Chains A and B, each alone.
Chain A
């Protein structure tokens, strides 16, 4: 993995907290019947992840990658129907003993410009055989 990509930002993406999408996600995680599920922000992350995972400058080998850590911090709950801006950047790349860790930080920003949710995903790439 390329350690030079730390700090790289990806183009912002508009994301609507669509009622049907929330409902589909809720059914998939068996969630309670009200409120946006606490991990729904993952759907926003995946609006951007294909671009990062497929970024030749990052150089990930998807077959050797597993999801290592995940964190969600809610400054406020998401509201069904609201429009957010998704802002992703590479926070860190670390290599240790044949393992490489890629940390992606994604902010879900409300129309008021304030961050509603911060999602931090760490991907682990194993060494090739």
Chain B
């Protein structure tokens, strides 16, 4: 926790990110092997089409993992991210760039924790998609 962000340096309304990442087939494949989620929906276009998608889609957990990275970078220490909760709202396809971000909603000075609204967006031909629209993160801060 030595490197984690200090309570005194955080205010409600502070923004985190934006942290972009290009989603490639190679990145999806690397995530599949790293996580053990080898569902062919993320690896085989024919299977993805049978399931109703135009191509393979990224794992929801790939997108959440990227969001967690954004929160951990802001927190200063991965170990201080004590809670992360999301709903997956839209698929993400290879070739798209996902952007993680968030905003501090509140601070608890007793537990020394910040609660953040967090999200992941994707730009789709000029309109903004929300693979993760209303996520929540709780980060433990240094007193």
- Chain A positions within 8 Å of B, measured between CB atoms, are 21, 24-25, 27-32, 34-39, 42-43, 46-47, 49, 62-64, 66-74, 77
Once A29-B68, A42-B35 are accepted as A-B contacts, the answer to whether A73 and B82 lie under 8 Å apart by CB is yes
Chain B contact-residue range equals 35 or more
Contact status A46-B78, CB under 8 Å = no
Contact status B34-A36, CB under 8 Å = no
Q: How far is the CA of A37 from the CA of B67 in the complex (A)?
A: 11
Q: How far is the CA of A97 from the CA of B64 in the complex (A)?
A: 27
Within 8 A of A (CB), among B32-58: 33-37, 39, 41, 47, 50-51
Interface centre among A24, A37, A70 (most CB of B within 10 A): A70
Contact status A37-B72, CB under 8 Å = yes
By a CB distance below 8 angstroms, the chain B residues around A49 are 37
Main secondary structure of the interface of A (DSSP, over half): mixed
Once A29-B31, A34-B78, A37-B68 are accepted as A-B contacts, the answer to whether A71 and B61 lie under 8 Å apart by CB is no
Q: How far is the CA of A74 from the CA of B79 in the complex (A)?
A: 9
Other-chain contact of B88, A28, A30, A69 (Cβ < 8 Å): A69
Contact status B83-A31, CB under 8 Å = no
User: Which residue of A has the minimal Cβ distance to B47?
Assistant: A63
Once A63-B50, A70-B88, A73-B83 are accepted as A-B contacts, the answer to whether A28 and B35 lie under 8 Å apart by CB is yes
A27 to chain B, nearest CB (A): 7
Q: How far is the CA of A55 from the CA of B81 in the complex (A)?
A: 33
A31 to chain B, nearest CB (A): 5
Other-chain contact of B85, A21, A47, A70 (Cβ < 8 Å): A70
Contact status A77-B79, CB under 8 Å = yes
- Whether, in the assembled complex, B59 has its beta carbon less than 8 Å from a beta carbon of chain A, the answer is yes
